Structures are given as C-alpha cells and as structure tokens.
Amino acid sequence: MIFVPLPFVVALLLSILLIRMLRMEEWSAPGRRLFLALIAAYALQSVFIGLRWGYDMLAIMPLQAVLAAIVAPLSFASFADLTLGTPRPLSRQWLHLLPAIGVALAFACWRDVVGLSLILLFIGYGLALLWISRSGADALVASRLDGAFLSYRSLVITAVALIGSGLSDVVISLDLYRTGGANAGAIVALGNVIVLLILGAAASIAGGTQPEQGIDSAPPSPALPTEEDDAVASRLDSLMETKQVYRDPELNLNRIARKLGLPARRVSVAVNRIHGMSVSQYVNEFRIRFACDQLAHNDMPVTSVMFEAGFISKSNFNREFLRVTGTSPTEYRRRERAPQPAKETALQAFVSR
C-alpha cells in the first residue's frame, strides 16, 4: 500500500484553493497578492514536511528551514498591509527576505543556531501581529467593512499560530533530545493541519469572500466625546445620507477617511465615541436601513436588495439585519406588507400592554 503522508494531502488542498483563488479577478489587486504568496508558501512547505517526515529525506531540511523563514515574515507583511491606506508594492517588501537569507547563511556556516533562529523568528513575528491587533478591527483600514471583524479575528489567530509554531519547535527539539524523535512526526503532522485552518482564514481575509460568523466584538469603552468628535461624526453622517457611500461593497475605513480628508484613526475614534460602535457596525446600520426601505416598498428579491444595500454575503446580511431590526429580511417584508387593519391591531395590542 502506498504511503501518502498527511502533509501531502494538506498541500493538495492548499493547491486547489490557490488555483481557485487565482481564477478570481479580485485576487489581482496589489494588496492581496501577498496572501496568494502566503498560500503558495504553505503548500510548498507542506510538501517539504511530507518529504522530511514521511520519507526521511534529510537533504530537504535546508530548503524547509529557509522557506519557514519566509513564511513568518510573509504572514506579518500580508496582514500589516491591511493597516495601510496604500499597500506597499512588492518591490518594497524585500526586507522580509532578510531572515531567510540569514537562515541560509547559518545552514552554511553555523547549523546549531538555525533551530533557535526559527523559534525566535516565529515567536517574534507572532508578537508583532498581536501588537497590530491591540487597536481592534478598525486598525485594518484596507479591509472591506463587510468582513472587517473576520479580518481582525484571522489576524489574531495567525499571530497565536505563529507563536504556537515556535513553541512546537521547542517541543520537537526536546523530543529529539530525549527520545530521538519518536513523537516528532506526529507533532509536525498535527501542526500542519492547524496551518491549513490558518490558511483558510488568511484566504478569507485576502478576498473578503467569507463572512464572519458569530457576534461582532464590542468596541472598547469610548472616552467622552469632544467637539471635534461631534464635527467628524456630523460630516460622516452627512456623507452617508447624501452620497450613500455605504452601498459600495468594497467600502473600507481608508476610503471613508479619504472622502472626509481625515486620518482613518480620527474617523474610527469619532464613531466609537459618538455612536459607541465600530465603523463596520455603523456602516452596516445604514445598509440595513436602506434594505428595510427597499423591502417595504418594492418587490425585488431579498438577494437583490442585499446587493443594492452594499452587502455581498448573505449570511452577514442576515446576521446584521437581525442585529439591527430583531427579525429576518423575509419576516420584515411580510410584516410591512401585512394589511393595514392587521398592522393597526398589532399596534393597539402593543400600546395596551
């Protein structure tokens, strides 16, 4: 029976995911190419892991180590670009190749430090991602608002996974020292499955095609609003009501800030302090109001209303609709279209309570 290591299966799944994403036009955007490179790097790393631990090919170890030194910086660079108004061109990302060059030189000159270097590299970049996450979802100004919280959660997951990968290398080193590597293969295989889950999250970030599941994280308790906050919030309300920019499915915090001529952080702080919510929730409330008006006054399918309002994910639309109105789009339309006497009876019943 042919032995197919688990990492090869993971590599195949990642390759299929990569091909599928390459066929989508939105993946050609500069800010999303790093995520494509990240997926490709994980797929190749899975192949290297399979060759090393499945068939005991020790000659692959230098390539495996160098690629690992690329994966951690690439993960950081991919998410860091989401915090920028304009993603850095790939030609300016060369600094993230320095760790890989250092590991390659270490393999040639001083192999004993390679393991420790990779551990520190993964933990260091993981901590750097956690540092980015301290400002919350609104820090990801280039992330589409429809999936801003998913982007944030994926960032945190990736950060924890990088730190966990560094710590797992410590466990593998101890196992090699104590038992000669009796359990190392199982540890690597389990870690590779976790990597697959991380890549699925990273893929969702890059394309923004997957909605977040669950309840939005509440913003931190806002400080007392200032007069400047009031002015910014008033300008933002006017922009939403007169220009209906919320109907843009690719809208993000950076685009809103540019339209107002303000820093993204200033807009985020004003929304948090004045409205007590994130920018994503604020924009989605405008979208839901628009959707409610459309559901009540025309016969467009619910899916068409969803797109017209600026949503691209049905599950996200339904979740936000429930959060704002307390009911589903279909039930809302049914109630609004109910005969007038029935609506009056319902109102009288409510008042008489």
Sequence length of the chain is 353
Domain identity same for 93 and 122:
yes
Domain identity same for 164 and 56:
yes
- Whether 216 and 280 have beta carbons less than 8 Å apart is answered as yes
160-179: average pLDDT? 72
Residue 168: is its pLDDT beyond 60?
Answer: yes
Domain identity same for 254 and 112:
no
180-198: average pLDDT? 58
Tens of pLDDT, residues 79-92: 888 777 555 655 56
Residue 239: its pLDDT value, please?
92
| Cα–Cα separations (whole angstroms), residue 22 to 12, 18, 93 | 15, 6, 21
Q: Fill in the DSSP letter of residue 339.
A: -
Residue 161: is its pLDDT beyond 90?
Answer: no
292-301: average pLDDT? 91
Domain identity same for 187 and 247:
no
The percent of residues in the chain predicted with pLDDT above 90, rounded, is: 18
CATH number of the domain enclosing 339: 1.10.10.60
Cα 104 from Cα 261, distance rounded (Å): 46
Place 210 in a pLDDT band, splitting at 50, 70 and 90. Answer: very low
Contacts with 58 (C-beta within 8 Å, 6 or more apart), sequence order: 52
Domain identity same for 202 and 241:
no
Cα 137 from Cα 272, distance rounded (Å): 12
- Whether 262 and 156 have beta carbons less than 8 Å apart is answered as no
Place 190 in a pLDDT band, splitting at 50, 70 and 90. Answer: low
Q: Which of 60-64, 219-223, 257-261 has the lowest mean pLDDT?
A: 219-223
Cα 5 from Cα 192, distance rounded (Å): 11
Place 214 in a pLDDT band, splitting at 50, 70 and 90. Answer: very low
Q: Is residue 217 part of a domain?
A: no
Residue 113: its pLDDT value, please?
84
Residue 338: is its pLDDT beyond 80?
Answer: no
Q: Is residue 180 part of a domain?
A: yes
Number of other CB atoms surrounding residue 342 within 10 Å: 10
Domain identity same for 276 and 184:
no
Domain identity same for 22 and 140:
yes
Signed CA dihedral, 210, 215, 220, 226: sign only = positive
pTM, 2 dp: 0.65
Number of other CB atoms surrounding residue 123 within 10 Å: 19
Residue 236: its pLDDT value, please?
93
Radius of gyration of the chain measured on its C-alpha atoms: 25
Residue 218: is its pLDDT beyond 50?
Answer: no
Q: Is residue 247 part of a domain?
A: yes
CATH number of the domain enclosing 190: 1.20.1070
Q: For residue 190, how many C-alpha atoms fall within 13 Å in the half-sphere facing its CB?
A: 11
Q: What is the mean pLDDT of the chain?
A: 76
Cα 201 from Cα 207, distance rounded (Å): 10
- Whether 179 and 314 have beta carbons less than 8 Å apart is answered as no
Higher pLDDT, 40 or 148: 40
Domain identity same for 239 and 336:
yes
Higher pLDDT, 137 or 29: 137
Domain identity same for 203 and 336:
no
Place 5 in a pLDDT band, splitting at 50, 70 and 90. Answer: low
Q: Is residue 214 part of a domain?
A: no
Angle among Cα 151, 313, 327 to the nearest 5 degrees reads: 110
Nearest Cα to Cα of residue 99 among 168, 162, 187: 162
Tens of pLDDT, residues 99-140: 888 888 888 888 788 888 888 998 999 999 998 888 777 777
Residue 313: its pLDDT value, please?
80
Residue 48: is its pLDDT beyond 90?
Answer: no
Q: What is the tally of structural domains in the chain?
A: 2
Q: Fill in the DSSP letter of residue 50.
A: I
Residue 261: is its pLDDT beyond 60?
Answer: yes
Q: Print the domain residue range for 93.
A: 6-207
Place 331 in a pLDDT band, splitting at 50, 70 and 90. Answer: very high
- Whether 282 and 319 have beta carbons less than 8 Å apart is answered as no
Domain identity same for 235 and 99:
no
Domain identity same for 81 and 130:
yes
56-68: average pLDDT? 83
Q: Is residue 212 part of a domain?
A: no
Place 97 in a pLDDT band, splitting at 50, 70 and 90. Answer: confident
Domain identity same for 280 and 174:
no
Decide which of 174, 207, 240 is a domain's last residue: 207
Residue 158: is its pLDDT beyond 80?
Answer: yes
10-39: average pLDDT? 71
